[in-house]
Structure 1
Amino acid sequence: MNSILFLTAAVIAFAITAILGKWMIPFLHKLKFGQTIREVGPSWHKNKQGTPTMGGLMFIIAIVAAVFACIPVFHSTGVSETFLMQVKLFAGLGMAVAFGAIGFMDDYISIVKKRNLGLTEKQKLVLQFAVAAAYLVSVGMAGGGTTTLIPFVGRIDLGYFYYILAAVVIVGLVNAVNFTDGIDGLNSTVSFFAFLGLALCAGVLSMTGLSAMGIASAAACIGFLIWNFHPAKVFMGDTGSLFLGGMVGALAFGIDLPILLLPVGLVYWCEILSVVLQVAYFKATHGKRLFKMSPIHHHFEMCGWSEVKICVVFGLVSLVGGALALLAVCFGI
């Protein structure tokens, strides 16, 4: 019966995202919500100037609709989940939407108010930590503890340090996913495999609700790729990338295996690490660069890789990471 639930989640999320593109892209064009291409990217990205952004609204609407549409299907299967698991599902969805709202504010200020940098870094971090804290408190009040599972090791208790570490990981992940959004189709492709891997892990652990939400998220990424694959007709903007980061975090923490973010989010971590290393190396060497350009996908662009090739290679890395996570759950839990 779970197969009906998963199919429902996938079809609704994919269909709504794909169909919304036919209406939302012209609407964003009409509102002149076009992307401003900054100097940090390759010079040929200037050709993308004016491409509509905030397209992440398409899959945010689709995923939220899919989750709520699946509630009656879920109950019809006769499967019941604990109160804690229900809180993890809806608090996780709320966290992702809240991160998307922060991204929307950033996009709105940048594009509509003509303030190129949008929210300041301090403003974004304060808001992001507030959202992460709200999620962790919600789960904690529902009975979630300070322990976490590590495959092949077992459950470990981190005490109150768990909350500090979890908040840092969630905010770091959200910003890492944001850095991954730099070329046509990249974030959607990488996130599809991340969601698929986490959804399968949740399924193996019999966490049906979280698994369905992960499948809906993966399907929505495919629906968005119809419009976002090179040459992109729309960008997700910070609205979409921060939402995706929140959703990946919600699934990993929801199944109580945030350690899986290491293999599943390998591309994300490489993206943000390349930025950190580039800045540190630039300051330490008084102007020299470790990479031709950061984040790392721009380095490969400068080396002559096409956007499609980068999407394929980075997507395969994410696929391998998801497979490793699934193997760890199957044999190490």
Structure 2
Amino acid sequence: MLYNLLYPLSKYFSLFNVFKYITFRTAYAIITALIISLFITPLLIKLLKQLQLSQKTKGYEPERHKEKEGTPTMGGVGILLSALITTLLWADITNSYIWIIIFVMVGTGIIGFLDDYIKTIKKNPEGLHPKAKFYGQLVVGTLAVLLINYVDSSNVSSKLALPFFKNLVVDLGYFYIILGVFIIVGTSNAVNLTDGLDGLAIMPTVIAFGTFIIFAYVSGHAKIANYLQILNVKGAGEISVFCGAMVGAGLGFLWFNAYPASLFMGDVGSLPLGATLGTVAVIVKQEIVLAIVGGVFVLETISVILQVGFFKVTKGKRLFRMAPIHHHFELKGWSEPKIIVRFWIISFILALLALSTLKLR
């Protein structure tokens, strides 16, 4: 909004010329979202306590999770509000990709809110029925991919680029719609599965969005994209501002979610965080890079799939002590902070590996 309001004034006042630069607006988006998050989250915690919207265990988590009962949940509302306000403030609001991402964030946020509402107000720890949740995500994801294809002016929306290889791009045609929806819905659920310990999900998410600030910027810049031999997506650079907003909002939330957490994000936070991250990857054509930088989310999801499959095949035996895999390490005796920090370190290393794909071709 500031770009749309103030940049036109640069013809009269050179000072406003800075609003032209995505890098400038992304940096201030991070700062703005952080400040907003740090301001509204304490107010949100107070409100959630008054409404008695607190964490409820399902009964099958590790024993020490009972200590977390009573901690306010649905803190993801603060993340979404901080990111939304900041994005509308610093991004070019005429950019179609920005509105598609906002649609995904709000749509999956509503699904997560309903899930948390049933868990807290209705006192049903299972929350929204899995099929209802999945179908809701499917609708949002499908609409998002169709909209991305509709607004694409670079004719790259159906293409899949393979990192580490020069000019290796596969045009999937209409089959890409299935892949795109899978990425958005899958990432949404993967982040949700990871959100089981204090700060475990938010920091890898912040690292992933921070990484995609760079990918969005270079993908949207024709000369840089050509130099790096990646797909150029017209208008994708503006997504850097949104990613910056998510980084700032996430760090502000982490201030209160760090161990021992005084607030949990709930599904209203984890579902849209994952869904928007997946949407960003789909838009900037870095789907495989998402699997690298989001390796922790992939690991958590695979651990659940393997656990369920192994349980069925062996008729009752378990591959891990508990899934997702962070619970396995808990039951092995690792302290919660040790698990969290080690997963953060892995996320940071994976981010560096993901960034290396820009040159290793």
TM-score by length of 2: 0.85
Mapped contact 1:96–1:245 kept (Cα < 8 A)? no
The alignment partner of 2:201 has SS state of helix
* 1:288 match: 317
Mapped contact 1:195–1:218 kept (Cα < 8 A)? yes
* 1:121 match: 130
Q: Any residues of structure 2 matched to 1:159-178 within 5 Å, and which?
A: 159-178=173-192
Q: Which amino acid aligns with 2:88?
A: F
For 2:266 and 2:78, how far apart are their aligned partners in 1?
Answer: 11
Q: Which amino acid aligns with 1:108?
A: Y
Q: Which amino acid aligns with 1:196?
A: G
For 2:77 and 2:148, how far apart are their aligned partners in 1?
Answer: 26
For 2:118 and 2:266, how far apart are their aligned partners in 1?
Answer: 12
Deviation at residue 309 of structure 1 after TM alignment: 1.4
Extract structure 1 runs of 4+ deviating beyond 3 A.
none
217-226 or 200-209: bigger deviation: 200-209
Match status 1:110 vs 2:119: yes
Q: Which amino acid aligns with 2:169?
A: R
* 1:265 match: 294
* 2:70 match: 50
Quickly say closer, same or farther: Cα 1:213–1:51, change in 2 above 3 A.
same
277-286 or 42-51: bigger deviation: 277-286
For 1:2 and 1:276, how far apart are their aligned partners in 2?
Answer: 40
For 1:224 and 1:308, how far apart are their aligned partners in 2?
Answer: 17
For 1:294 and 1:331, how far apart are their aligned partners in 2?
Answer: 35
* 2:243 match: 214
1:27 pairs, out of 47, 60, 84, with 47
For 2:138 and 2:43, how far apart are their aligned partners in 1?
Answer: 34
The count of aligned residue pairs is: 321
Quickly say closer, same or farther: Cα 1:116–1:63, change in 2 above 3 A.
same
* 2:162 match: 150
Q: How high is the sequence identity, in percent, across the aligned residues? A: 38
Mapped contact 1:198–1:322 kept (Cα < 8 A)? no
Which runs of no fewer than 5 residues in structure 1 stay unpaired?
76-82
134-143 or 179-188: bigger deviation: 134-143
205-214 or 26-35: bigger deviation: 205-214
* 2:61 match: 41
Deviation at residue 186 of structure 1 after TM alignment: 0.4
* 2:201 match: 187
Mapped contact 1:100–1:242 kept (Cα < 8 A)? yes
2:213 pairs, out of 186, 191, 199, with 199
Mapped contact 1:89–1:254 kept (Cα < 8 A)? no
The structure having more radius of gyration, on CA atoms, is 2
Deviation at residue 139 of structure 1 after TM alignment: 1.2
Deviation at residue 12 of structure 1 after TM alignment: 1.1
* 1:62 match: 82
Deviation at residue 203 of structure 1 after TM alignment: 2.3
1:232 pairs, out of 228, 245, 261, with 261
* 2:232 match: none
Mapped contact 1:129–1:171 kept (Cα < 8 A)? yes
* 1:302 match: 331
* 1:255 match: 284
Mapped contact 2:184–2:276 kept (Cα < 8 A)? no
The alignment partner of 1:148 has SS state of strand
* RMSD of Structure 2 on Structure 1 (CA): 1.6
Q: Which amino acid aligns with 2:85?
A: A
For 1:210 and 1:331, how far apart are their aligned partners in 2?
Answer: 24
The C-alpha deviation readout for 1:239-287, integer Å capped at 9, x for no partner, is 0000110121121112111111210111101101111111111122222
The alignment partner of 1:89 has SS state of helix
1:18 pairs, out of 38, 42, 67, with 38
Q: Which amino acid aligns with 1:147?
A: K
2:341 pairs, out of 299, 312, 319, with 312
Quickly say closer, same or farther: Cα 1:88–1:148, change in 2 above 3 A.
farther
Q: Which amino acid aligns with 1:326?
A: L
Deviation at residue 62 of structure 1 after TM alignment: 0.4
232-241 or 90-99: bigger deviation: 90-99
For 1:97 and 1:177, how far apart are their aligned partners in 2?
Answer: 16
127-136 or 95-104: bigger deviation: 95-104
Quickly say closer, same or farther: Cα 1:2–1:140, change in 2 above 3 A.
closer
The C-alpha deviation readout for 1:22-56, integer Å capped at 9, x for no partner, is 11101000000011011231111101111110000
Match status 1:132 vs 2:144: no
